Structure 1
Amino acid sequence: MPDVVIDYATVFRLLPGMVALLTPDLVYADANEEFLLSSGRTRDQLIGRYLFDVFPDNPNDPSANGIRNLAASLQRVAETGERDAMALQRYDVESAERPGEWEERYWSPVNAPVFDAEGRVVLLVHRVEEVTELIRARGRRAGGQAQVLEAELYTRARELQELNERLREAHAREREVALALQNAMLPVTRPTGDTRIAVRYRPAAGSLNVCGDWYDLVDLPGDRIAVAVGDVVGHGLAAAGVMGQLRSALSATSRVAEGPAKALEVLGLYARSVEGAENTTVVETCIDWNGRTVTYSSAGHLPPALLRHDGTVEFLDQATDPPLGARPEHLPRPQATTGFTPGDTLVLYTDGLVERRREDIDVGLERLAGALVRHRGDDPERIADALLVDLLPVGGATDDTALIVVRL
């Protein structure tokens, strides 16, 4: 088949159904011809204007809430990055030629996100199925039965809307429980000895995307400290339970194991008995202040970043092995050691900080290195805040983010 260059702008305008594009601020960015025709609006009356300015709810009918429901759906899509199919909605659409005249319409909308290269929601696709004529046709054929059907449809739509609201409230309560559980299981951070350590945790944007990531700080004999971060596959309360078990096991093991590799070996054996722990990634570093070394081992996790005092960034990737439970046989895990100079900065993090949809991970690591170099003169607290601002999407990451910054 010969290559065909597709003019997607023309395809969009000629789509047979009603389709519009809005910004996350609910401003119309574009609309196809069917949307303009069915809504009775010209491009000048629509493009660049706010949703409620174009289609206000009927002020003469207190029960008219179709546009408010639509706005709530679009905002959910912008915040969560998830598609939202709405129940049948009744809209009172004001005539563009005869202000003050309102026409009752029935539309069934579906709203979906459009992401940029960094996973941020930049546009909202608003597709509408027009069913007003179907209801009117039935009314002409069946007389009063159409009004009954119309009332039933509207009642069912209102019931579905109320059910959705109750489900969202229940989901919000579950999210609060998960966050409280996570805060109870994660350690209380504090400076250890004369070190300067900053810790941040940011849950994913939307629904219950929490509790998959963890961090740990453990004082060790001989003026040493173990610093670890990990990421359990999945989200929600089940992942929270797995996270708590693995974090506690690693915290205890790190106190007696001869280095990070041995600690991860023991954790891997333990993880075989924990349902849901398979393919968990974790990296642990051991900082020896007297020897000025960082010893590390990784079970499939992203490499820690070592910001040198001279402004160079080294990723500690010389001791990486598969995630926990990724292979059936037990083998020793690798371990590597690198030296540091006082004033260097060690950064451990989970994938929510650097990974983006449809983007190679090396791009995210380069972005992290650039941000570290820009802020290398700051203290750990300011570096941690700056990394979250510079690297997380404006609308919130789609995965949890744990971050530890240690001034060596």
Structure 2
Amino acid sequence: MTGQEIDYRAVFHALPGMVALLTPDLAYADANDDFLRLSGRTREQLIGRYLFDVFPDNPNDPTATGARNLEASLRRVLASGERDTMALQRYDVESVARPGEWEERYWSPVNAPVLDDEGRTVLLVHRVEEITQLIRAHGLPEGNRARVLEAELYTRARELQEVNERLREAHAREREVALALQEAMLPAPRPLERHHAAVRYRPAIGALNVCGDWYDLVELPGDRVAVAVGDVVGHGLAAAGVMGQLRSALSAASRVATGPAQALEVLGLYARSVDGGESTTAATAFIDSSTRTITYSSAGHPPPALLRRDGTVEFLDRATDPPLGARPEHQPRPEAVTRFAEGDMLALYTDGLVERRREDIDTGLDRLAHVLATHRSADPDVLADTVLTELLPPGGATDDTALVVIRL
């Protein structure tokens, strides 16, 4: 191409094979030329209409399951945001020329989501392989042999559906176990002597999207508190297990380290010995009430946000280094110090709060700063809930989110 704009509508209609676009309400938004031709329907008979009003199950066949199976697949895609490939379906279609007569069809559908910038499904791509002619091309006559073939097809379809159901159940159980593991390893922290803190954790949507985000608060000698958040690469039980190991290691290191940089150095060395631990990001801050200072360090993590009483938000980004284990050789990590006033608030969070697909992270940080400033008079619990409500997508995020808000 030489700068010429692509006519994507023309491309869509020229796609080989049957392709339709459905709204989340399962109404036809568009259909390509092959879909219209092979389904025997006009655009006027499709666009804007509910899919199963156009293509219901054959009422004369009590064993017909095509519509029910297709709807279940589409609902799974809407709930998970993930593609679903269906087993071969017999899905009879009513003749347009002869209403009341039903034509035997065999379809192999694939359904996929179209996501917006917030990860919400705004359209469904419904692609159908019409294989009726392929089956008939084997030269099987009507009668017993055709019925045998039909029975075999139904058997294979049921077997594949059962396998899919077992996989979904296994994935759901894995998610439940991972969530329980995360909750066990992320208990509500004990009240701090000098500070009011609120902690929140929101799991990602989707059966396999449980991640490895964590938070921690540790009382230190000398009127000090260490607060940290981190994010393990990966999903599922493995990430949750790694998260537990690294959280415990950082908590222990913070109690004996001279500062946050040294604590992250120790964690980085430990992460090299943990499968899945490298490339983890983390940020930690030591709050000293006697000197009213925050000493902080970050290992490739989004910067903590310091909310001043006047509504000014300062992102603590002067001590940022690569994620854990990213360097081939160990090097000292940087740390920086900033002062705070009584009544200021500090927020540490993981990237699920501010990062969105196809969007610069600065946009997410600006949103966070705006919400913090707007609700600066709220207490930490109310502020934490408000931040999650206003920044996370209504249907849930595709990445975990951990958040700590602490009044200084």
TM-score range, shorter chain: over 0.9
Offset of residue 194 of structure 1: 4.5
- Which residue of 1 is the match for residue 117 of structure 2? 117
Could you list the per-position Cα deviations for residues 6-63 of structure 1 after superposition, in whole angstroms to 9, with x for gaps in the alignment?
2111221232311111122322221122222333333333222333333333344343
- Secondary structure of the 1:138 match is coil
1:158-177 matched pairs, under 5 angstroms: 158-177=158-177
> SS of 1:204's equivalent?
coil
Q: Name the residue aligned to 1:333.
A: 333
Instruction: Tell me: CA distance 1:389–1:42, structure 2 relative to 1, closer, same or farther (3 Å).
Output: farther
Equivalent in the alignment of 2:32: 32
TM-score, normalised on structure 1? 0.93
Q: Secondary structure of 1:395's match? A: coil
Q: What secondary structure is seen at the aligned counterpart in 1 of 2:163?
A: helix
Structure 1 segment 182-331 matched on structure 2, within 5 A: 182-331=182-331
Quick one: distance in 2 between partners of 1:130 and 1:139? 17
Report the equivalent of 1:73: 73
Name the residue aligned to 1:367: 367
Deviation at 1:323, TM superposition (A): 1.1
One-letter code aligned to 2:151 = A
Q: Is the 8 A contact 2:114 2:125 kept in 1?
A: yes
Q: Is the 8 A contact 1:200 1:402 kept in 2?
A: yes
One-letter code aligned to 1:290: S
The 1-side partners of 2:62 and 2:208 are apart by: 34
Q: State the distance in 1 between where 2:290 and 2:104 align.
A: 77
Provide Cα deviations, 1:192-218, integer angstroms capped at 9, x if missing partner: 124222211111111222141111111
Deviation for aligned residue 1:352? 1.1
1:43 matched residue in structure 2? 43
Shift in CA distance, 42/376, structure 1 to aligned 2, threshold 3 Å: farther
Q: Which moved more, 1:71-80 or 1:250-259?
A: 71-80
Look up the match of 1:178: 178
Counterpart-to-counterpart distance in 2, 1:278 and 1:108: 42
CA distance in 1, matches of 2:374, 2:277: 37
Preserved CA contact (<8 Å) 1:197 1:381: yes
1:225-245 CA deviation, whole Å, 9 max, x = no partner?
A: 111000111111111221111
Count of aligned residue pairs for this structure pair: 408
TM-superposed CA distance for 1:190, in Å, is 4.1
When residues 212 and 122 of structure 1 are mapped into structure 2, their CA distance, relative to the original with a 3 A threshold, is same
Q: What is the match of residue 385 of structure 2?
A: 385
Match of 1:255, SS state, is: helix
Quote the Cα distance in structure 1 between the aligned partners of 2:32 and 2:348. Answer: 47
> Which secondary structure state, in structure 1, belongs to the residue aligned with residue 138 of structure 2?
helix
Q: Partner amino acid for 1:405?
A: V
**3-state DSSP class of the match of 1:183?**
helix
Determine the structure 2 residue equivalent to 1:349.
349
For 2:389 and 2:54, the matched residues in 1 are separated by 34
> How far 1:292 sits from its partner (Å)?
2.0
TM normalised by structure 2 equals 0.93
Instruction: Give identity over the alignment, percent.
Output: 77
Letter in 1 for 2:25: D
Distance between the aligned counterparts of 2:311 and 2:88, measured in 1?
Answer: 58
Farther off after superposition, 189-198 or 202-211: 189-198
2:93 maps to which residue?
93
SS at match of 2:210: coil
What amino acid is aligned across from residue 284 of structure 1 in structure 2?
A: T
Q: Which amino acid aligns with 1:403?
A: L
> Structure 2: how far apart are the matches of 1:261 and 1:7?
53
Q: Is the 8 A contact 2:118 2:397 kept in 1?
A: no
Which residue number corresponds to residue 108 of structure 1? 108
SS in 1 for 2:92: strand
Further displaced range: 167-176 or 380-389: 380-389
CA-based RMSD: 2.1
Could you tell me how far apart the structure 2 residues matched to 1:15 and 1:249 are? Answer: 54
| Equivalent pair of 2:204/2:211 in contact (CA under 8 Å) | no
SS at match of 1:275: coil
6-15 vs 229-238, greater mean Cα deviation? 6-15
Decide whether aligned partners of structure 1 residues 22 and 374 sit closer, same or farther in structure 2, where only a CA change above 3 A counts: farther
Q: How far 1:329 sits from its partner (Å)?
A: 1.9
* Partner Cα separation in structure 2 for residue 155 and residue 128 of structure 1: 20
In the TM superposition, residue 143 of structure 1 has moved relative to its aligned partner by: 6.5
Matched residue SS, 1:273: coil
Q: 2:387 and 2:240 mapped to 1: Cα distance?
A: 25
Alignment-derived partner of residue 10 in structure 1: 10
Give me the whole-angstrom Cα distance separating, in 1, the residues matched to 2:12 and 2:273: 53
> What's 1:127 paired with?
127
Aligned with 1:3: secondary structure? coil
For the Cα contact (< 8 Å) 1:283–1:296, is it kept in 2?
yes
Q: Structure 1 counterpart of 2:308, which letter? A: R
Cα distance in 2 for residues equivalent to 1:368 and 1:100: 59
**Conservation of the 8 A alpha-carbon contact between 1:79 and 1:395:** no
